[in-house]
Amino acid sequence: MSASESRDGFVVFDGVQKSYDGETLVVKDLNLSVGRGEFLTMLGPSGSGKTTCLMMLAGFETATHGEILLDGRPINSVPPHKRGIGMVFQNYALFPHMTVGENLSFPLEVRGMGKSDREKKIMRALDMVQMGAFANRRPAQLSGGQQQRIALARALVFEPELVLMDEPLGALDKQLREHMQFEITRLAHDLGITTVYVTHDQTEALTMSDNVAVFDDGRIQQLDPPDVLYEAPRNSFVAQFIGENNTLDGVIKEIRGETCIVELDGGEVIDAKPVNVNKVGERTTVSIRPERVESNKDRLGAHAHTIKAEVKEFIYMGDVFRTRLKVAGNENFIMKTRNAPDQVRHKPGDMIEIGWMPTDCRALDHA
Amino acid sequence: MSQADATLTAPPPARREKLVTADGTPLRRALERANRRRKLTALALVAPLLAFILIFFAFPIAQMMWRSVDNPQIVNALPRTLQALETWDGQGIPDEPVFAALHADMLEDLDRPRREQAIGPLGIRLNYELSAARSAISRTSRDVPNFEAPFSDAFTDAHRLWGQPELWRIIKREGRPLTASYYVAALDREYDEAGNIVQRDENRRIYVSLFGRTLALSLAITFMTFALGFPIAYFLANLPMRYANLLMIAVLLPFWTSLLVRTSAWIVLLQQQGVINELLVNIGLISDGNRLNMIYNQTGTIIAMTHILLPFMVLPLYSVMRTIPVTYTRAAKSLGATPWTAFRRVYFPQTLPGIGAGGVLVFIISIGYYITPALVGGQSGRMISNEIARHIQQSLNWGLAAALGTMLLVGVLVLYWLYNRLVGADSLKLG
């Protein structure tokens, strides 16, 4: 489980624990290493400890136990203003009594930078987020998206090597959010800065990050690149949390290397890929992504496993069809098929046969 | 074709038609009609308070301001005398016709029913300007029926003041329905023999320095409430709501205790034989002969009033601080500011609306405060309102009291105007 015991990352959490009340741990034994220039996202439901981790890294919370290292240097006792970490806050935290220019000037002034240097850097930072014409506006005169850009520019203007972002796009509408996702990743890569990004939005995490750490219950459940996270979830929490997921409960009958045989609660027996199941007789939750389920026999491979299903609902979504099925007792089994000329549009009540490749069917711990 | 397009896309802006509703009434009138009912309801809801304010606030203030210039007494009592005095040059004693007119005025007044007699008010009015005038008038008026010509001798025999040009100058000067003399007195000034306004003798100047002291004390009290209230408000604003509400009760507790009780408690604490002095003497910090004078002077006024007015500073400050999210300070620190810089440049400026509101509130309340300075202020801790009260209750010079009150009111309005110009009243936040 420990993603990285090594202490050679740019940001390292080494056995960090955090408790607010002395009775419960909000963060339980966190080990994490972020490489230089990496874009790491901490993803998890609210209360999973991700924001606490970010606040400990920024210096606003102290670790109850363990050590946090920045560029090889322990920073547990370094106050926040000496850490030199840029931060973008959830509600931007632009100083309302200062203009945009003064907001950007602030981090440079407290560093004692001269006026002409300051102005140069402010203009460069504003141009970077395409807000060059707004230096004399007050934050209240800007739209949400513009404020977001200014907050980003302010966190970058003093050229920190590490930038933290705490759900920075949460207050924006969908379209703007998608646009900003792209801009933030572009900026982070262009400037080569290390970014630790906190979000509860899995799309954001998948599209932006080099690596995603999925948090739950104060622990990192899985730390992997987005594609691995999606296609090979390590446990049923990750499988459920990332993307859409069908689950079937059952018992392990046999494990043979890369495959195992599962007897579902409905009596059907299927093949699956054992991921974190250990012994015969154990209860398991089998996970299958909806887009890996197919009802068209021509499209199924030779080794596909087939099973009977009853169509409960058919939803036309344009590019895809969503068919809700009853499979092995589960009434919420979703099949997602691409809108192609040869694709069948099922009607509720149809009895059909569906199938999937055993390799796409992952036997995970019982949720 | 292209011309037609141009007119279609850009109609001349001046030729906009008047909008009408479906049945042809102008839209504006229809809107007014639709809103009238709501306006009437609003007016009906406000009416009781409006009437109350008009009757018990606006009207008395207007009355007070009128009183500060109203001057009917001499005009009512001595119409003939004033007419005869018109030709007098103000030097020496007036001629016999003036005294004859005075005699006629006084005789006529004695014939009037007692309630309508104007001689009494005349004596009081003249006494404000010249201290023996009242007895001169009352003594003379008793003898007037027995006077015989030449009246100038009869009057000067009856009371020596009639032989002094000063009295005549006052009668001539104040023989007008409106006067500035109350304001002249309120500014520590008087009329000299030539009728010019000059400063009073140094030992008779009271009000200007009293205004100055009132201003200084109010500023000191405002500053003290700020210095004590700011940390409390900051502490409360950063507590969890549960505890903050509990401690807020402690802040508001003074409001629930009688003002008189609180002020008396300060007397118990601060007097020469009081708790604090006894304690200091007993632990040997001061000797028995050097007990501190903490009450019946300015110190007493400042201490007691700071205590009383503290909630007025804490409440607006607290309500403003509550709305400042902790992320601002955090953002400042993450940008490299030390905690002190973050406080000074990011947190503090955002509390200014609260400081302004609290400051204006405390300052305006304290500048007109009466009871506490009266009880614990002694001589040096008295404020202008105590002097106003004295003129209303004891010296009964209501004109002067009204002039002082009007000046206080105007002064407060000017200060408020200044504040509005410098800071902006719309930035006030009272909670």
* Nearest residue in chain A measured CA to CA from B347: A95
Using an 8 Å CB-CB cutoff, list chain A residues near B346: 95, 106
Quote the minimal CA–CA distance from B332 to chain A in Å: 8
Do A316 and A225 belong to one domain?
no
User: Could you count the other beta carbons within 10 Å of the beta carbon of residue B173?
Assistant: 16
Using an 8 Å CB-CB cutoff, list chain B residues near A87: 330-331, 334
Chain A contact probe: residue of B323, B326, B334 with most A CBs at under 10 A: B334
Q: Which helix H or strand E contains A164, and what residues bound it?
A: strand A162-166
End residue of a domain, out of A183, A208, A236: A236
Helix, strand, coil percent values for chain A (each to nearest 5):
30, 35, 40
Averaged pLDDT of chain B: 88
Of B330, B331, B337, the CB nearest to A110: B337
End residue of a domain, out of A236, A261, A295: A236
Do A254 and A307 belong to one domain?
yes
**CATH code for the domain in which residue A75 is found:** 3.40.50.300
Do A216 and A136 belong to one domain?
yes
Q: Which CATH class is domain B207-427?
A: mainly alpha
| Tokens 């902790």 belong to residue | B326
Asked if residues A246 and A330 have their Cβ atoms less than 8 Å apart, the reply is: yes
- Looking at residue B233, its amino acid is A
pLDDT digits (tens, 9 = 90+) for A41-69: 999 998 888 999 999 999 999 999 999 99
| Tokens 């192609």 belong to residue | A340
- Which residue in B199, B227, B405, B373 sits closest to B300, CA to CA? B373
Q: Do A80 and B330 touch (CB under 8 A)?
A: yes
In a domain, A108, yes or no: yes
**CATH code for the domain in which residue A349 is found:** 2.40.50.140
Of A85, A97, A111, the CB nearest to B334: A85
Q: Do B336 and A91 touch (CB under 8 A)?
A: no
Do A226 and A265 belong to one domain?
no
pLDDT of residue B80: 92
In a domain, A1, yes or no: no
Sheet of A65-70, strands arranged across? A27-34, A11-18, A65-70, A73-74
Kindly report the backbone phi and psi dihedral angles of residue B261, in degrees, each rounded to the nearest multiple of 5, phi listed first.
Answer: -65, -45
Residues β-bridged to residue A88: A165
Do A57 and A193 belong to one domain?
yes
Kindly report the backbone phi and psi dihedral angles of residue A197, in degrees, each rounded to the nearest multiple of 5, phi listed first.
Answer: -120, 130
pLDDT of residue A269: 87
Do A303 and A187 belong to one domain?
no
Domain of residue A133 covers 11-236
Sheet of A330-338, strands arranged across? A330-338, A320-327, A305-316, A351-356
Using an 8 Å CB-CB cutoff, list chain A residues near B337: 81, 106-107, 110
Residues β-bridged to residue B16: none
* Nearest residue in chain B measured CA to CA from A87: B334
Low-confidence ranges of chain A (pLDDT < 50): 1-6
Asked if residues A333 and A325 have their Cβ atoms less than 8 Å apart, the reply is: yes
If interface means Cβ-Cβ distance under 8 Å, which residues of chain A face chain B?
A: 58-60, 79-87, 89-91, 93, 95-97, 106-107, 110-111, 154-155, 158, 164
| B339 near A CB under 8 A | yes
* Domain assignments of chain B as residue spans, ordered by start: 23-57, 73-179, 207-427
In a domain, A4, yes or no: no
Residues 296-335 of B with CB under 8 A from A: 325, 327-328, 330-335
Do A99 and A29 belong to one domain?
yes
Do A200 and A331 belong to one domain?
no
- Which residue in B157, B170, B70, B79 sits closest to B126, CA to CA? B170
Across A308-325, b (16+ Cβ under 10 Å) vs e yields ebbbbebeeeeebbebbb
Asked if residues A196 and A162 have their Cβ atoms less than 8 Å apart, the reply is: yes
Quote the minimal CA–CA distance from A51 to chain B in Å: 13
Structure tokens belonging to residue B222: 């405002």
User: How far apart, in whole angstroms, are the C-alpha atoms of residue B298 and residue B382?
Assistant: 8
User: How far apart, in whole angstroms, are the C-alpha atoms of residue B402 and residue B63?
Assistant: 9
| Tokens 């045989």 belong to residue | A261
Do A196 and A265 belong to one domain?
no
Q: Do B328 and A93 touch (CB under 8 A)?
A: yes
Do A194 and A319 belong to one domain?
no
Of A59, A91, A158, the CB nearest to B327: A91
Quote the minimal CA–CA distance from B226 to chain A in Å: 21
Do A255 and A206 belong to one domain?
no
pLDDT per position in chain B (431 positions), as tens? Answer: 444 444 444 445 555 667 777 887 888 888 888 889 889 999 999 999 999 999 999 999 999 999 999 999 999 999 999 999 988 888 888 989 999 999 999 999 888 888 888 888 999 999 998 888 999 998 898 888 888 888 888 998 888 889 899 899 999 999 999 999 999 999 999 888 888 898 988 888 889 999 999 999 999 999 999 999 999 999 999 998 889 889 888 888 878 888 888 888 899 999 888 899 999 999 988 888 888 888 899 999 999 999 999 999 999 999 999 999 989 999 999 999 999 999 999 999 999 989 988 999 999 999 989 888 998 888 888 899 999 999 999 988 999 999 999 999 999 999 888 888 887 766 666 55
User: How far apart, in whole angstroms, are the C-alpha atoms of residue A103 and residue A89?
Assistant: 14
Q: How many domains does chain A have?
A: 2
Do A216 and A305 belong to one domain?
no
End residue of a domain, out of A198, A213, A236: A236
In a domain, A3, yes or no: no
The complex scores an ipTM of 0.83
Residues β-bridged to residue A162: A85, A194
